[in-house]
Structure 1
Amino acid sequence: MRYALTRLSFYIVAFIIAIALNFFLPRMMPGDPIQSFIGRLVQNGGAVTPETIAAIEALYGYSSSTPLFQQFIGYVGSIFSGEWGVSTRFFQPVTDVLGRASMWTLLLVGLNILISYTVTTFAGIYVAWKRGSKRDGIITIASVVISSIPGVVMALVLYFIFASHLEWFPTGYAYDPKLDPEFSWEWISSVLYHLILPLSAMVLLGLGGVMGMRSNMINQLGEDYIVMGWAKGVEDKKVMLSYGARNAMLPMITSFAMSIGMVFGGSLIIEIIFNYPGLGQVIFQAMMSRDYPLIQGYLLIMTIMVLTANFVADMLLFLLDPRLRGQLN
């Protein structure tokens, strides 16, 4: 319990610092959300008067004349009240916009994490056990080469080859626009079909984890308890999985939690390239229009997800690693 409270207090402090950064970072960007909205209004032939500007500021709860500290106090209050404001880009509540987009991003990122870490963990265990063999060399080199390709390049190559040139896969959207979103096989199959390319790009970029698991496993295979297992005649499969892999996976839990932020950051680029309607696509449009409420809402969701993932990882390590529990006794 003491360990959990200590880690929780640390993440609460981190959350407070993140809230401040979430508020001030968008305001360090050049431009102004109200002026951006007024600019679009003028382009469409709308009349702009002081009364119009005052009404727009009242609608979106933002005014450049309001002191920054007062804006920050209002922002903190809105976080806990659930009133995250209205998007100046989509003219809808921020929670509604992010709610729709997060569904697709969580589907994409969730499947990527499940597939990537399953593949890299078992592949790393296998090549470490078969170290020095041809299969070890092929899998290791392939994972290093593929994971070294920048995410933008990987996504663009898959897009132009399989979507634009060969036309095997769609060039955008989460499902066929002709279909109504309903729980039917036709709609589900369309969702999975549109998911293949962006998911493939993210999974391929995560193959570098094979090397991490391989290194951890090789380190464990040199430990005394592994040698003792072999000396006692324990079968190789049990030594590999129950002895070596169990301990080799502990550092992977930490790296998994730390990579959550990078995975979501990578999904932003993937979603933009494949025109996938997730949080990445939404935040890109929000930044282009200086949509402060939407940017703040996005950053807040990312902060909560990353801190929660790290806290869960800390708890799992505490439960799985007896050395941590021993330090507290």
Structure 2
Amino acid sequence: MKFILSRLGFYLLAFLAAVTINFFLPRLMPGDPIQSFLARLAQNGGQISAETIASLEVLYGYSTNTPLFEQFITYVGSILTGEWGTSTRFFQPVFEVLGRGMLWTLLLVGCYLLVSYTITTLLGIYVAWKRGTWTDSVITVSSVVVSSVPAVVMALGMYFLFASNLGWFPTGYAYNPSIDAGWSFEFVGSVAYHLVLPLLCMVALGMGNVMGMRSNMINQLGEDFIVMGWAKGVKDKKVMMQYGARNAVLPMITTFAMSVGAIFGGSLIIEIIFNYPGLGQVMFQAMLARDYPLIQGYLLIMTVMVLGANFVADCLLFVLDPRLRTQLD
């Protein structure tokens, strides 16, 4: 319990530091969200008074007459009360806008984590067991080559090949707009069909984890308890899965937690290219409009997810690894 509380305290401090950066980072960007809004209004021939501009600055939490420190205190208070402000791009509460995109991003990222880490973990175990063979060479080289392709190149290549040219998959959105959203087989099938290409792209980019699992597994195969298992006549399959893989997978938990931020960053690019209506699309439009409240809300959600994933990983390692509990006793 002492270990859990100490880690929780550390992540709370990290969260406060991230909140501070989250507040100041958008304000270091060139441009002004209020002026951006006024420019869009002027393009349509609209004009508003100075008093209305001042009201907009108060509404969106950006005032040229209010010191940054006071704005920061107001911002921290709004986080604690759940009032994340109003989007200058969508003219809706930030939490509401992010909630719509969050559902699709969680679906995409959740399926990716389930599929990718299952495939890469099993392949890593297998090629480590078959190290030095042609199977090992083919799988490891292929995984490194595929995962080394930039996300933009991978996504654009799959989009133009499978969606635009061959027409095997849809070119955008999360489901067929002509289908009523609901728990029907037609709707679920449409969601799965639209999910395939972005998911395939992310899984391909994550194939580099095969090398990490392979390295962990090879290190475990040289341990004394593995040699003892062979000497006792334990079957190879049991030695591989229950002796070696059980311990080799522990570092992958930490790797998974540390990669959460990169996973969401990669999904942002993929969502934009495939026109998938997740948080990536929301963030892209927020950056174009200098929508400070929406950008801050997005970064806040990413911060909570990354810190939460690392905290869960620490707790899992404490439960699964008896060596860690022994060191702390």
Q: Could you say which TM-score interval applies, normalised by the shorter chain?
A: over 0.9
Name the CA distance, whole Å, in 2 between partners of 1:59 and 1:119: 48
Q: Are the equivalent residues in 1 in contact too, given 2:175–2:194 (CA < 8 A)?
A: yes
Q: Deviations over 1:105-162 (max 9, x none)?
A: 0000010011110000000000101111121111111101101111110000000101
Mapping 1:242-253, distance limit 5 Å: 242-253=242-253
Q: Are the equivalent residues in 1 in contact too, given 2:172–2:274 (CA < 8 A)?
A: yes
Q: Deviations over 1:169-202 (max 9, x none)?
A: 1111111111221111111111111111111110
Mapping 1:68-107, distance limit 5 Å: 68-107=68-107
Q: Deviations over 1:69-114 (max 9, x none)?
A: 1110000000010000000000000000000000000000010011
Name the CA distance, whole Å, in 1 between partners of 2:54 and 2:13: 37
Match of 2:232 in 1: 232
1:142 aligns with 2:139: no
Number of aligned residue pairs = 329
Match of 1:319 in 2: 319
Q: CA deviation at 1:57?
A: 2.4
Q: CA deviation at 1:321?
A: 1.1
Name the CA distance, whole Å, in 2 between partners of 1:49 and 1:312: 51
Name the CA distance, whole Å, in 2 between partners of 1:328 and 1:285: 48
Q: CA deviation at 1:64?
A: 2.0
Mapping 1:143-158, distance limit 5 Å: 143-158=143-158
One-letter amino acid of the structure 2 residue matched with residue 56 of structure 1:
L
Q: CA deviation at 1:61?
A: 3.5
Q: CA deviation at 1:242?
A: 0.5
Q: CA deviation at 1:56?
A: 2.3
Q: Are the equivalent residues in 2 in contact too, given 1:42–1:48 (CA < 8 A)?
A: no
One-letter amino acid of the structure 2 residue matched with residue 11 of structure 1:
Y
Match of 2:160 in 1: 160
Query: Could you list the runs of 4 or more consecutive aligned residues of structure 1 that deviate by over 2 angstroms after TM superposition?
Result: 54-62
Name the CA distance, whole Å, in 2 between partners of 1:229 and 1:169: 49
Match of 1:292 in 2: 292
Name the CA distance, whole Å, in 2 between partners of 1:264 and 1:150: 15
Paired residue secondary structure (1:240)? helix
Mapping 1:101-250, distance limit 5 Å: 101-250=101-250
Name the CA distance, whole Å, in 2 between partners of 1:93 and 1:125: 47
TM-score (norm 2): 0.99
Q: Deviations over 1:209-263 (max 9, x none)?
A: 0000001101110111000000001111110000000110111111010000100
Q: Deviations over 1:31-69 (max 9, x none)?
A: 111110000000011023213312322433432221101
One-letter amino acid of the structure 1 residue matched with residue 72 of structure 2:
F
One-letter amino acid of the structure 2 residue matched with residue 5 of structure 1:
L
Name the CA distance, whole Å, in 2 between partners of 1:325 and 1:55: 56
TM-score (norm 1): 0.99
Name the CA distance, whole Å, in 2 between partners of 1:77 and 1:149: 43
Percentage of matched positions with identical amino acids = 72
Match of 2:6 in 1: 6
Name the CA distance, whole Å, in 1 between partners of 2:124 and 2:64: 54
Match of 1:41 in 2: 41
Name the CA distance, whole Å, in 2 between partners of 1:61 and 1:263: 30
Q: Are the equivalent residues in 1 in contact too, given 2:143–2:207 (CA < 8 A)?
A: yes
Q: Are the equivalent residues in 1 in contact too, given 2:61–2:71 (CA < 8 A)?
A: no
Name the CA distance, whole Å, in 2 between partners of 1:206 and 1:61: 39
Q: CA deviation at 1:320?
A: 1.1
Paired residue secondary structure (2:249)? helix
Q: Deviations over 1:278-317 (max 9, x none)?
A: 0011001001111000000000000000000000000111
- Where structure 2 has 5 or more consecutive residues not aligned to the other structure, the ranges are none
Name the CA distance, whole Å, in 2 between partners of 1:136 and 1:258: 27
Paired residue secondary structure (1:319)? helix
One-letter amino acid of the structure 2 residue matched with residue 208 of structure 1:
G
Between 1:298-307 and 1:51-60, the stretch displaced more is 51-60
